[in-house]
Every structure is written in C-alpha cells, then in structure tokens.
C-alpha cells in the first residue's frame, strides 16, 4: 500500500500534460467482481488473450500467451525461471496485473506526435517488474509496433568476454558478442519491419564494406550478424535510423523501446581494461547508443523500462526506488518519467496464483492444499510472486 501512495506522490510532481487513467491503483482490486466473464472453466483464467482488450475485469486472471508469439516476441526476453515454468506447464500463462494494465492504457491514449513517454516499473525484489514489462511488450507487438527489447541491460556491463576498441571512436569499446546476439533477437522479433524500413544514410564499415543509403534495415542487421566485429556499430546505426524515422509521417510504425534494468546504463560496470582500470558505461558503444535512445527527443513511440536491483552492481540490496537505483546522472537523464510501482500480490492475485498452481497440479504436498496451508504460504512468502514461485516448486 505504501508503494502505491508513493507512486501517487511521485506522479503529481511529473509535469506532463496527459489524461491520467482514473481507475486508480490498488484500492478497488477487491471490489472488482468476476461476473459475466465468458470462461466457464475457472475463476483465475481468462480467454481474453489479446492484451488490447484486457481491462480491469481481467485483473488477477491468467491469460495464455500464444506459443508462436513467444518464440518471436521473446527470444530471450522472458525471465529464466518463467521459461522453465512455460516448458513444464506446456503453456505460457501470465497474470494480468494492475501496473502493466496501467501502462498499456497510457500507451493506448498517448499522443504520438509528442516526444516519447518514459515509463519505469519499480518495486521490491521479485515483485514482477520484468513480467509486467513483458506483458507490455506483448501488447506492443500485437498492436504491430516495432519492438526494441533489451532483455537485460546488465548483461552489457558485466562479464564481457571480448572487448574490442571501437573502430568508429577509439575512446570507446565494442562488445561484439553481446551486440551480435542482440541483433539476432531483434531480427527474429521484427522480421516484417526489417523488410520495409530503409536506411537514410550511408554506412561504411571497412574499406570494402559499406551499406548504401536506401537499403533495407534487414540488410544492415544481416551485416551486423555476419560481420561480428562491427556488430556494435551496426547496433548504433540501427538505433540511429529508428530514432530518426520513428516520428516521421511517412513511416507507419511506432517504436517501443523496452529495456530491463535501465539503471545499468548509468551505474558502474565490472568490465576492466587491460590495465585493470574500470570501464565506464559510457565508454561502451552499446550503452552509449542506448543512452541516446533513452532521451525523449524523438517522437512516435514509447520507452518502457524497469529498474532492477538483482543484477545491479555495487548497489545495496535494500534499494528499490528509481532514484536510488538510477543514481544522480541516471535520474537527471530519465527525468521526467512516469514511475509505475509493482507491488507484491494482492489477496485476489495471490488467490489466483494459488488456484493456478493447484490447477496445474503443481502443489503436491497435501498440507498445501488446505486452508491452513494457504495461510502458511501467505505468511512465508509475504505474497511476493518470486518467493511464491520458488516455494511452490519445492512443494
């Protein structure tokens, strides 16, 4: 509850002119009645698999992600444990929760001729920020947007196996492996757009290789995938192209930038140069280009992100608010943004989760099927989604 009030206060200080979605946050979760829903099977499932048509009626209910969508939209986007769960249960069910629904409603109503809005999901550890992000990304995909999804920005600032000095700017460093992987995922997700969008500039990679102006974006991406050495620069080029083109009237796509762990871009990194001095994030090409995208100087899209403590470096475990995690520079860069708090499950959501696990025969322990067992689960997990999932996997 305190988190909701905090988000209210933060929201009042944001000076955006937009209509606030007035369904409020959190108070009427219990009051939402589950009547006249078309599914006869269960209380916790909904047949409404399109995020566009989900509304407060479906709060707390699980909808199924079509498996075709998962392989295209989320090649590496979903959290690892969730992927395991999908494999086990043979279906990908995600809960419709208030924060994601809120951001989706903002996206529906936003004016795309204005600079892009920045949404940040924040919350305690394991409260469902990444899942909310994925839900929103799924919505953007079903709406036919171009999705630029960075599954975990922290992967770019830690454990780098190969660090090359950038060919473009000698002060910066390239990460060919991460860039190539990201380009591959990008290609899988946005196949149809890559065949339509044309570059506006000529890019020279080496003495022999260059990309002509007006060539397809797909070609650019292929170039990056095949020539791994220049993949980071390709990423930079892609980002630049998309940023330039997204607001223009002739381009008929909307750009959704989804970054998980956006506080990585302004934090510290554990990568070290050869002389053992630390590398600043802005010295990395990928991070530098992504930061340019984070500025809201482009139109025709939205930036959705999460701030995460789990993978973060040199941040204390108890920090979860955007200001603590983004730091001074990050906050200045991202300000003004719309913070959306992701709390633990409410009673209704917890009930729904519990029924889902029971339905999937995931809870094998006889005690867990009783009322007392449920109360115990509530106490042990404090209604935290991750804790609930971890605890139930051992039951």
Partner 1 sequence: MALSCARTVGAFLGKCGNCGSAVSSQLSRKVPIRPLSCSSSLLRKNLAAAGPEKFTAEFIEKQVEEFNIGKRHLANMMGEDPENFCQEDVDRSIAYLFPSGLFEKKAQPLMKHPDEIFPRQRAVQWGADGRPFHFLFYTGKQSYYSLMHETYEKIQNLEKHQDRLRAKGLFSQDTKRISLGTSRWLTKDEVDVLLVETISAHDYNRFIQLMERLLSIPYCAGEEEFVLRYRRQLEAQSRKQMVPPLERDDRGVAFSTAEGRRKTSTSSVVLRDCGAGRVTVNGRDYLDFFSVLQDREQLMFPLQFTGTLGRFDLECSVSGGGRSGQAGALRLAVSRALLSFLSEGDVETMRQAGLLTPDPRLRERKKPGQEGARKKFTWKKR
Tokens (6 digits) for 30: 């219990």
Query: What residues contact residue 10 under an 8 Å CB cut-off, 6+ apart?
Result: 339
351 binds partner 1 (CB under 8 A): no
Q: For residues 128 and 86, give the distance between their C-alpha atoms in angstroms, rounded to a whole number.
A: 16
319 binds partner 1 (CB under 8 A): no
Q: Which of 267, 346, 367, 277 is CA-nearest to residue 308?
A: 267
> Rounded to the nearest whole angstrom, what is the least distance from the CB of residue 3 to partner 1 in the complex?
11
384 binds partner 1 (CB under 8 A): yes
The residue among 119 and 320 lying less far from partner 1, judged by its C-beta, is 320
> Rounded to the nearest whole angstrom, what is the least distance from the CB of residue 372 to partner 1 in the complex?
7
The residue among 156 and 345 lying less far from partner 1, judged by its C-beta, is 345
Tokens (6 digits) for 230: 């220049």
The four Cα atoms 307, 309, 310, 312 give a dihedral, to 10 degrees, of: 90
Stated as kind and residue range, the H or E segment containing 111 is: none
Q: Which of 130, 80, 127 is CA-nearest to residue 353?
A: 127
Among 6, 43, 387, 395, binds partner 1 (CB under 8 A): 387
How many residues belong to the site for partner 1 (CB under 8 A)? 14
Q: Which of 159, 288, 158, 164 is CA-nearest to residue 229?
A: 164
Binding mask of the shown chain, residues 357 to 376, with x at each position contacting partner 1 by CB under 8 A? ---------------x--xx
Touching partner 1, residues 98-137 (CB under 8 A): 124
The residue among 369 and 380 lying less far from partner 1, judged by its C-beta, is 380
Q: Which range in 60-68, 137-145, 358-366, 380-388 contacts partner 1 by CB under 8 A?
A: 380-388
Touching partner 1, residues 45-84 (CB under 8 A): none
Q: For residues 331 and 122, give the distance between their C-alpha atoms in angstroms, rounded to a whole number.
A: 13
DSSP secondary structure letters along 377-390: HHHHHTT-HHHHHH
Half-sphere exposure of 361 (CA within 13 A, CB side): 3
> Rounded to the nearest whole angstrom, what is the least distance from the CB of residue 376 to partner 1 in the complex?
6
Q: For residues 323 and 247, give the distance between their C-alpha atoms in angstroms, rounded to a whole number.
A: 29
The residue among 76 and 374 lying less far from partner 1, judged by its C-beta, is 374
> Rounded to the nearest whole angstrom, what is the least distance from the CB of residue 392 to partner 1 in the complex?
12
Give residues in contact with partner 1 (CB under 8 A).
124, 317-318, 372, 375-376, 378-382, 384, 387, 391
């Amino acid at each position: 509850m305190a988190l909701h009030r905090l988000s209210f206060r933060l929201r009042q200080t944001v000076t955006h002119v937009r209509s606030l979605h007035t369904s409020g946050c959190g108070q009427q979760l219990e009051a939402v009645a589950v009547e006249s829903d078309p599914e006869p099977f269960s209380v916790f499932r909904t047949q409404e698999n399109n995020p566009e048509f989900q509304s407060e009626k479906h709060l707390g209910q699980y909808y199924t992600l079509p498996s075709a969508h998962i392989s295209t939209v989320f090649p590496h986007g979903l959290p690892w444990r969730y992927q395991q769960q999908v494999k086990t249960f043979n279906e990908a069910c995600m809960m419709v929760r208030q924060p994601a629904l809120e951001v989706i409603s903002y996206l529906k109503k936003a004016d795309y001729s204005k600079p892009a809005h920045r949404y940040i999901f924040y919350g305690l550890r394991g409260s469902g920020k990444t899942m909310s992000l994925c839900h929103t990304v799924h919505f953007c995909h079903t709406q036919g947007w171009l999705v630029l999804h960075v599954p975990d920005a922290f992967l770019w600032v830690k454990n780098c196996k190969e660090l090359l000095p950038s060919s473009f700017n000698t002060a910066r460093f390239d990460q060919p492996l991460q860039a190539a992987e990201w380009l591959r995922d990008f290609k899988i997700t946005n196949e149809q757009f890559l065949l339509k969008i044309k570059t506006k500039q000529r890019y020279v990679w080496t003495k022999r290789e260059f990309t002509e102006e007006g060539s397809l974006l797909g070609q650019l991406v292929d170039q990056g995938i095949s020539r791994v050495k220049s993949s980071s620069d390709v990423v930079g080029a892609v980002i630049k192209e998309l940023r330039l083109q997204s607001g223009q009237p002739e381009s008929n796509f909307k750009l959704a930038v989804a970054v998980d762990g956006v506080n990585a871009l302004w934090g510290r990194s554990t990568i070290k140069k050869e002389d053992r001095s630390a590398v600043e994030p802005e010295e990395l090409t990928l991070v530098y280009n992504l930061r340019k995208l984070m500025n809201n100087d482009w139109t025709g899209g939205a930036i959705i992100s999460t701030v995460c403590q789990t993978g973060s470096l040199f941040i204390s475990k108890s920090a979860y608010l955007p200001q603590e995690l983004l730091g001074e520079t990050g906050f200045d860069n991202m300000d003004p943004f719309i913070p959306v708090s992701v709390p633990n499950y409410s009673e209704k959501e917890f009930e729904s989760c519990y029924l889902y696990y029971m339905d999937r025969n995931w809870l094998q322990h006889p005690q867990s099927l009783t009322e007392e067992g449920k109360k115990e689960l509530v106490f042990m997990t404090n209604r935290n989604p991750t804790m609930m999932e971890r605890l139930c996997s051992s039951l």
